[in-house]
Every structure is written in C-alpha cells, then in structure tokens.
Amino acid sequence: MEFSQDANECTSSICRMEAAGDWSSSSGGVSDSEACLEDFEDEEVFYEMGSHIKLQFRKYVSKACWKDEMGVAEVLEHKGRLFTSMGIIRNGKIYCSIEETLFLAEIGALLLVDEKHTTISLKEIY
C-alpha cells in the first residue's frame, strides 16, 4: 500500500475505491446475492456428488462393538485422546451414542463391529 507525503492520505487503488464507493469493480461486477447463489449451487453439486464425507487415515483407530439392545456402541479399544470429550463411562466401560459413533466412523477414528466382530460399513451405520 502506498502512502503520500501526508501519512493520513492513502493513494492505493483500495483507498480510492473506498472513497468512491465503487466496490462492484473489485468483484467482477457480481452482486453479493448473485455470488451467494453461485456458492449455494456449488454446495448442492458438492453434496450431490457424495463427496461430503471425507475419510481420513488416522494414526490411532479405536474399535467399538454395536450393542443393539442398548442402542449404543461399546468401545473395546480406545486410542488417542478423542474419548476425553466423547462418550459416557458406565461401570468402567466407554459407550458412544449413535451420533458420536457415526461421527467417529466418518472421520476414520472408529472401526465399528457387530457382536460377531464383523466390521460394519459406514453405509450400514447410516
């Protein structure tokens, strides 16, 4: 940004645009509502493509078993620090709600198995 001899007088194009109130040229002539609509349409396409779920490979993956009768997942092996703020502890065991289980599975931090220790896919969790 350039300044003239007077420290308070700005000579940059941004300052001139502020003074003139001409912000349409900085956005290519697109109004705020048009830009918002474009963003919304982009988001719809993004979600329609099914790419909103991003699996991440993690160093620590915990393992949990789904308990149908209780409607929760019992954490069998907990790794990392996620369970300091998630789940509930009852009788020395950590349990996660369906929402917590789904979230952890989505981010790749939890492997969910059934009572026969068969892996449950993310699609089956939904």
What distance in Å separates the CA atoms of residue 38 and residue 23, rounded to the nearest whole number?
19
pLDDT of residue 60: 80
The domain over range 62-125 is classified in CATH as 3.30.390.30: no
pLDDT of residue 46: 46
Rounded mean pLDDT, 60-85: 90
CA-CA distances (angstroms) from residue 97 to 75, 102, 118? Answer: 11, 9, 19
List, by residue range, all CATH 3.40.1170.20 domains of the chain: 62-125
What distance in Å separates the CA atoms of residue 8 and residue 3, rounded to the nearest whole number?
8
pLDDT of residue 83: 81
pLDDT digits (tens, 9 = 90+) for 18-54: 555 555 555 556 555 555 555 545 555 444 545 455 5
pLDDT digits (tens, 9 = 90+) for 88-126: 999 999 999 999 999 999 998 999 999 899 999 999 988
